[in-house]
Structure 1
Amino acid sequence: MNQDFEVVAAARNWRIDVQQKHTPQQLVSEVFGEDVLTLETLRQRLSKPMFKSLQATLERGDPLDPKIADAVALAMKTWAMDKGATHYTHWFQPLTGSTAEKHDSFLSPSSDGSALAQFSGSELIQAEPDASSFPSGGLRATFEARGYTAWDPSSPAFIMRHANGATLCIPTAFASWTGEALDLKTPLLRSIEALNKAVVPALNLFDTPVGRVSSSLGAEQEYFLIDEDYFYRRPDLVMTGRTLFGAKPPRGQELEDHYFGAIPDRVLSFMTDAETQLYALGIPVKTRHNEVAPGQFEIAPIYEQSNVAADHQQLIMQVLRNTARKYGLVALMHEKPFAGINGSGKHCNWSMGTDLGDNLLEPGATPHENLQFLFFCSAVIKAVDEHQDLLRISVASANNDHRLGANEAPPAIISIFLGSELTEILDRIASGQGGRGKAAGFLGLGSSVLPEIPRHAGDRNRTSPFAFTGNKFEFRAVGSSQSISFPITVLNTIVADAVQVLTQELKAKLADGQDLQSAVGELVKATYEAHKRIIFNGDGYAEAWHQEAEQERGLLNMRTSLDAIEHLSDAKNVALFGKYNVLSERELAARQEIMYDIYFKTVNIEGETTESVAATQIMPAALAYLAELSGIKAGKAASAISEEVAQAADEMYDALSDLRAQNEAQGGEEVHEKAHHMRDHVLPAMQAVRQAADKLEKVVAAKHWPMPTYRQMLFVK
């Protein structure tokens, strides 16, 4: 079929088979959280003493009492079976970056030939999945298969539904037989505890007694949608999640008309369906809209505790992928599925909150007088400056390298945007002036029918990798396909360290007889002056900033992931994670090894896919067109086109020969050697093949071109 006819077919041949059956009131009162085992549900199903014991674990971090496990398991089983669940699974986050699950039935055969529904406390608390095939980075030999999942009571169990039933999912940690973390959740939980232990003593100095402190998070999710018919005709998308070929279409995102534009009906129906499922899972998704690039969209939840937010982020991706298929679409989570237009990120809006509901990064109406806010804000500045490397490492991947530093997200150099108001306050403190400086005020819009609206004292900066946005910091470098657990683990840990150091300094000043206001003022001034090189409120895309950052400010510029990953095992990082019991030296080394391994395998798959598609699809298409042209009577046009096609085909043949050699070489025996070979040799060879292929796409007749083009994939909705 001619590809232009396929465009028409893809645009027309879809139907909405599923319609929203819930009223808005029902979504709030009946749907939200209906598939989540909430505290209230457990309260109704447990005795008061048992519930109080469980509540102490959830709210105060007390050790879990094994004596209540059987009662909780029974309550969980009966609730799940009432919801239609026939199986349960310990749901965990291995070091692959995705999730894993092994399903077990509630039904157990009895001696009389019948079956009973059983689920014990021991089955709830611990399971033993095979750990041999999960990445361990050398922590476990392949033949050492034993691994344990351990129930995480701080993240609620939930029901995942499918067409023929439902499964009870129990969030768990995953560890080896030796007790070392084989997952992303365990270090995250440890980092939350480290933050709590560091911040509570600091709050006591401000006469703010609290029980617990944890980090809170709202993670935006960007993604692309393309027609399913096109996806399966693109081997590169199927194999790698991104297009390895594709000429720039006449129109991309230049008109900027897609951003916040009207959402197409097909897409809006998909979004509504996905949101309803997410509501049932208790995920507080709030925002949906068109993103900048054609075919790109965003969904964003509101704040939750970071552990729960990390679980929910994985569920958001899973639900989006599954639901898209119902509408003849495929959801692409890759950081850069299409060249020449914006890629996708996962902006992590991070803050710290108390069990009393107070946000510690809320500046209030008078931030210049808010000593507690200035103290914690200074701690974040100190943390980011001292640990730029770790923040860059936390978002390092072969996928994200295609996005970082492009004209959408420039965090290869980590810097902080504070905004004009907060920067001026800190500048005034540093100079001894004090006072607020610029006030917010109101914005008049020049028409009597329009109201005056409150104006923030500072603008936003979308080019900053780490930006203060009113009452939180937005870490914009996180990639759209990655788990947020490791970036948030890093952020929790480095802030915990900074808070602990500043707390000791503040204690010393108070012990010397200083009053709180002058002591905090001196501390904020000293901290700001020591670390203000990390503050940058300008254009993060400008080349002048890159030169200034490196040459004048001494900031790190780790341009590729491999530049960053090698520093994960630096002595300062080993000491930091060890100090707070977040990651041992062995656990950290294992993660470094896995990051190298995933980088190598990702690019290796891309390199071999590029070779295969170029050799078996694109080159034959070019040669078939050349053969067709050779049958045309001599003429200026035919001759010129033949020469252009032949030249590009020859370029591609030479580039393909080089790529084949680089794919075979692989660069060495050690995984870090292989990873560097991929970066330094395979990626450039792939790019050379692509350049020649993209030239061919522009001159080969459409009927010969073997794959859907950007023009088709990006604009059929």
Structure 2
Amino acid sequence: MNTITNVFGTDVFNDSVMKARLPKETYRQLQRTMKEGKHLDNAVANVVANAMKDWAVEKGATHFTHWFQPMTGITAEKHDSFITPTNDGRVILEFSGKELIQGEPDASSFPSGGLRATFEARGYTAWDPTSYAFIKDKTLCIPTAFCSYGGEALDKKTPLLRSMEAINRQAVRILKLFGDQNITSVKTTVGPEQEYFLVDKDLYDKRPDLIYTGRTLFGAKPPKGQELDDHYFGTIKSKVAAFMDDLNQSLWKLGVLAKTEHNEVAPAQHELAPIFTTTNIATDHNQLTMELMQRIAKKHGMICLLHEKPFAGVNGSGKHNNWSISTNTGKNLLEPGDTPHENAQFLLFLCAVIKAVDDYQDLLRISVASAGNDHRLGANEAPPAIVSMFLGTELTDILDSIEKGEQYGTKEKELWKVGVHILPRFPKDTTDRNRTSPFAFTGNKFEFRMLGSSDSIACTNMMLNTAVAESLRQFADVLENATDFNETLHDLIQDTIKKHKRIIFNGNGYDESWVQEAEKRGLLNLKTTPDCLPYYINEKNIKLLTEHKVLTETEIHARYEIILDNYSKTLNIEAVTMLDMAKKDLLPAFSAYTKQLSDTLLAKKEAAPGVDCSYEEEQIKKVSGLCGSMYQKTKGLEESLMALVHREYDELEKAKYYRTEVFQAMNDLRIVADEIENVMDRKLYPYPNYGDLLFGVR
């Protein structure tokens, strides 16, 4: 059996493969392109493409594809073979630099928010040389950005790459002021923890709601859920362990740094966590991880559910975005140091993040907005919809002492001053973790816990990078004009803490008192997607994204429209699925149960007049009453959908209508149906129940 070290990266055209297969000068020029963004001329591109093709063909590849991430939230690929015909009726295998650098998929059928009309089909994919090509299913996959004929971004990766450049520019400005001349580039790094559910495939195939929507639209709570906390970190079942092993092997071959795996809190729930890597590569890897999870689960007779809330009453699934900032010299800018110089720098970058999260809390909330995540936020270990930051007691006390100009602790006799006095040692694990905090400092990184499990991490990191870039830009503008750097630095940090400390909250985010406290502080509580989306097109947010050249105003409005449209369509699919299940399966099953009770009642009375029939009589009355109520709720849901047909709505009005009217009608229908399930004959219930699904994988 191959060891991990022998297997890792074997399906990736990585640096070691490039060194071995490319001429030295070609390799050097490609490295300049990857690290510095230098233009790669056609002659060099041709050499790289040919070497890439030869390597891929040796590994069994027959096709290549530009692998991109449209606004659907999943990946897209169009496969072309390497074959080129010859004059003698045969073929040769070719792959040109032009084909490597640019592709032309049809752009008309992807979500564009009005950027493209159906008859305007042309779109372009452009190679992202900072993310390695890889082989998947005998196809050479080339990570790319995706844009329209007019140059507008139609994907999630292009703005992410732009945001990485924005924070790089501003962070390097700051570091030069600290005298760090060896630092030429700064990159954000991410380690996204991925939660998911595994259910038995045979059971899944009998649930239309799971098939069409990814979550259960009906289902009563089973006798046992997660109350005993016996699943969390528990022994992994053999079938699940086999899946995890297969998944790890596949991910390692693709260079994905899969590190940690364990059972999560809810029955049938699990987690995979990777090691940190550069943000755009981490984004690619997370998309691959989700795709392979779903594919490999089927090989093992299971289905991987990535919906944020596939089951009511137990934990939903999130994706914890562990974010940090690193330099080309390997320095983590969010790690406290040992000298006044290092700690002043750490505090400045810390304050940049604090300011960014406070100033752009609305954009961070928008970055995780979806119909699925609306079910999850604020319940069962997911953070609330109010964005706040957890720093821990010790670091918060240090910031308080800076703000007030007071000494920190008992050892320092003079007033604490940034850049003059040393920051007390601040070990990475000096504070407890706060699972209710949306944005928590964990020693040398921030853990943003609001993402849903099916989300691409691109949007969140694009927003976060850009917001922090803006803080750093403002800081650099002040410091570059300072007559006394240390004095100005101290005042800048002190002023930032005073103005933005409202975003820091170390308490219980689930406590109702926090909702009231957050409102007093002026923090936003945007509970649903329709609540937060209008902030996307606020003037301050448009200014941020356009000034840093991350999105144009046109692209911002397009994404606003896309997310609203997706929200409404998601709820519509769910509502129509509910109606289909209620009318074709559930109501007939409940009626059949009533008939069974009635037949039993009549048979008993005929066989033994005067015998006690109270069970049957009471059940008939109860189930019949509930069936009548369910029928009315079904009609109510139908009517709420029909109302959309007879009235014109703009996209925001439509989304709000789905959230208030349609969503409420869906909940009303489910409550009654689940109540009947709890009292009826299990054999007559038409679908696998929650107990089957949550405990069905043996």
| TM norm structure 2 | 0.94
Quote how far apart the aligned CAs of 1:458 are.
Answer: 1.6
Could you tell me which amino acid in structure 1 is paired with residue 623 of structure 2?
A: V
Could you tell me which amino acid in structure 2 is paired with residue 605 of structure 1?
A: I
Q: Given the alignment, which residue of 573, 576, 582 partners 1:608?
A: 576
8 Å contact 2:389–2:503 — kept in the other structure? Answer: yes
Quote how far apart the aligned CAs of 1:65 are.
Answer: 2.7
Q: How far apart, CA to CA, are the structure 2 residues paired with 1:489 and 1:608?
A: 34
**Which residue number corresponds to residue 680 of structure 1?**
660
SS of residue matched to 1:708: coil
**Which residue number corresponds to residue 548 of structure 1?**
517
Correspondence 1:109 to 2:85: yes
**Which residue number corresponds to residue 499 of structure 2?**
530
Correspondence 1:621 to 2:589: yes
Could you tell me which amino acid in structure 2 is paired with residue 581 of structure 1?
A: K
Could you tell me which amino acid in structure 2 is paired with residue 325 of structure 1?
A: K
SS of residue matched to 1:566: helix
**Which residue number corresponds to residue 140 of structure 2?**
168
Query: Bigger CA drift: 614-623 or 663-672?
Result: 663-672
**Which residue number corresponds to residue 184 of structure 1?**
156
Correspondence 1:131 to 2:107: yes
Write out per-residue CA displacement over residues 111-133 of structure 1, whole angstroms, 9 at most, x where no aligned residue.
21101101111111111101110
**Which residue number corresponds to residue 520 of structure 1?**
489
Could you tell me which amino acid in structure 1 is paired with residue 467 of structure 2?
A: I
Q: How far apart, CA to CA, are the structure 2 residues paired with 1:192 and 1:577?
A: 12
**Which residue number corresponds to residue 207 of structure 1?**
179
Correspondence 1:64 to 2:40: yes
Q: How far apart, CA to CA, are the structure 2 residues paired with 1:577 and 1:469?
A: 28
Root-mean-square deviation over aligned CA pairs: 1.5
User: Which runs of structure 2 are paired with 1:277-676 in the superposition (5 Å)?
Assistant: 277-364=250-337, 370-435=343-408, 456-509=429-482, 512=483, 514-516=484-486, 518-550=487-519, 552-632=520-600, 633-634=604-605, 635-666=613-644, 668-676=648-656
Could you tell me which amino acid in structure 1 is paired with residue 302 of structure 2?
A: L
SS of residue matched to 2:281: helix
Write out per-residue CA displacement over residues 503-531 of structure 1, whole angstroms, 9 at most, x where no aligned residue.
2222233xx2x242x33222111101100
**Which residue number corresponds to residue 75 of structure 2?**
99
Could you tell me which amino acid in structure 2 is paired with residue 661 of structure 1?
A: E
Write out per-residue CA displacement over residues 82-141 of structure 1, whole angstroms, 9 at most, x where no aligned residue.
110001100000011110000000112222110110111111111110111000001111
* Paired-residue identity, %: 54
Q: How far apart, CA to CA, are the structure 1 residues paired with 2:466 and 2:332?
A: 18
8 Å contact 1:392–1:411 — kept in the other structure? Answer: no
Write out per-residue CA displacement over residues 417-449 of structure 1, whole angstroms, 9 at most, x where no aligned residue.
00111101111111212446799xxxxxxxxxx
Q: How far apart, CA to CA, are the structure 2 residues paired with 1:154 and 1:410?
A: 33
SS of residue matched to 1:495: helix
SS of residue matched to 1:230: helix
Write out per-residue CA displacement over residues 568-608 of structure 1, whole angstroms, 9 at most, x where no aligned residue.
01111111111010000000000000001100110000000
SS of residue matched to 1:712: helix
SS of residue matched to 2:16: helix
8 Å contact 1:223–1:296 — kept in the other structure? Answer: yes
Quote how far apart the aligned CAs of 1:50 are.
Answer: 1.5
Quote how far apart the aligned CAs of 1:688 are.
Answer: 0.8
SS of residue matched to 1:347: strand
Write out per-residue CA displacement over residues 128-168 of structure 1, whole angstroms, 9 at most, x where no aligned residue.
1011100000111111000001111011000113xxxx111
CA separation of 1:608 and 1:367: change in aligned 2, threshold 3 A: farther
Q: How far apart, CA to CA, are the structure 2 residues paired with 1:588 and 1:66?
A: 33
CA separation of 1:416 and 1:317: change in aligned 2, threshold 3 A: same
SS of residue matched to 1:348: strand
Quote how far apart the aligned CAs of 1:665 are.
Answer: 2.4
CA separation of 1:399 and 1:390: change in aligned 2, threshold 3 A: same
Could you tell me which amino acid in structure 2 is paired with residue 128 of structure 1?
A: E
Quote how far apart the aligned CAs of 1:369 are.
Answer: 6.7
Could you tell me which amino acid in structure 2 is paired with residue 656 of structure 1?
A: T
SS of residue matched to 2:126: strand
Q: How far apart, CA to CA, are the structure 2 residues paired with 1:578 and 1:189?
A: 14
CA separation of 1:669 and 1:263: change in aligned 2, threshold 3 A: same
Q: How far apart, CA to CA, are the structure 2 residues paired with 1:438 and 1:145?
A: 69
Q: How far apart, CA to CA, are the structure 2 residues paired with 1:471 and 1:292?
A: 26
Quote how far apart the aligned CAs of 1:669 are.
Answer: 4.2
Could you tell me which amino acid in structure 2 is paired with residue 687 of structure 1?
A: N
Could you tell me which amino acid in structure 2 is paired with residue 254 of structure 1?
A: E
CA separation of 1:215 and 1:173: change in aligned 2, threshold 3 A: same
CA separation of 1:592 and 1:436: change in aligned 2, threshold 3 A: farther
CA separation of 1:406 and 1:520: change in aligned 2, threshold 3 A: same
| TM norm structure 1 | 0.92
Correspondence 1:146 to 2:110: no
Q: How far apart, CA to CA, are the structure 2 residues paired with 1:316 and 1:257?
A: 27
Quote how far apart the aligned CAs of 1:66 are.
Answer: 3.0
Could you tell me which amino acid in structure 2 is paired with residue 540 of structure 1?
A: G
Write out per-residue CA displacement over residues 473-507 of structure 1, whole angstroms, 9 at most, x where no aligned residue.
01100110010101100000000000110122222
Could you tell me which amino acid in structure 2 is paired with residue 415 of structure 1?
A: S
CA separation of 1:400 and 1:715: change in aligned 2, threshold 3 A: same
8 Å contact 1:361–1:377 — kept in the other structure? Answer: yes
**Which residue number corresponds to residue 680 of structure 2?**
700
Q: How far apart, CA to CA, are the structure 2 residues paired with 1:619 and 1:100?
A: 40
Q: How far apart, CA to CA, are the structure 1 residues paired with 2:404 and 2:638?
A: 61
Q: How far apart, CA to CA, are the structure 1 residues paired with 2:621 and 2:411?
A: 65
Could you tell me which amino acid in structure 2 is paired with residue 659 of structure 1?
A: L
Query: Bigger CA drift: 652-661 or 204-213?
Result: 204-213
Q: How far apart, CA to CA, are the structure 2 residues paired with 1:565 and 1:438?
A: 49
Could you tell me which amino acid in structure 2 is paired with residue 269 of structure 1?
A: A
8 Å contact 2:428–2:442 — kept in the other structure? Answer: no
**Which residue number corresponds to residue 31 of structure 2?**
55
**Which residue number corresponds to residue 168 of structure 2?**
196
CA separation of 1:368 and 1:269: change in aligned 2, threshold 3 A: farther
**Which residue number corresponds to residue 44 of structure 1?**
20
SS of residue matched to 2:38: coil
Q: How far apart, CA to CA, are the structure 2 residues paired with 1:610 and 1:364?
A: 56
Q: How far apart, CA to CA, are the structure 1 residues paired with 2:493 and 2:302?
A: 52
CA separation of 1:567 and 1:437: change in aligned 2, threshold 3 A: farther
CA separation of 1:537 and 1:438: change in aligned 2, threshold 3 A: farther
**Which residue number corresponds to residue 422 of structure 2?**
none
CA separation of 1:112 and 1:601: change in aligned 2, threshold 3 A: same
CA separation of 1:337 and 1:37: change in aligned 2, threshold 3 A: same
**Which residue number corresponds to residue 49 of structure 2?**
73
8 Å contact 1:438–1:457 — kept in the other structure? Answer: no
SS of residue matched to 1:94: coil
SS of residue matched to 1:330: strand
Q: How far apart, CA to CA, are the structure 2 residues paired with 1:659 and 1:519?
A: 62
Gaps of 5+ in 1: 1-20, 440-453
Q: How far apart, CA to CA, are the structure 1 residues paired with 2:248 and 2:395?
A: 36
Quote how far apart the aligned CAs of 1:267 are.
Answer: 0.5
SS of residue matched to 1:470: coil
8 Å contact 2:434–2:506 — kept in the other structure? Answer: yes
Quote how far apart the aligned CAs of 1:53 are.
Answer: 1.0
